[in-house]
Structure 1
Amino acid sequence: MEARDILRKPIVTEKTMALLEDNKYSFLVDIKANKSEIKKAVEQIFKVKVEKVNTLIVKGKPKRVRNSVGRTSDVKKAIVKLREGDKIELFEGI
Structure 2
Amino acid sequence: MRGRRREQQEQDQEALMTADEVASLMQVTSAWVYAESRRGALPHVRLGRYVRFRRSAINRWLDDSERGPRTTQRPEGAKFASVVP
Q: Same fold (TM over 0.5)?
A: no
Structure that is richer in strand per residue? 1
Higher relative contact order (CA 8 A, sep 6+): 1
Q: Tell me which structure has the larger Cα radius of gyration.
A: 2
The interval holding the TM-score normalised by the smaller chain is under 0.3
Structure that is richer in helix per residue? 2
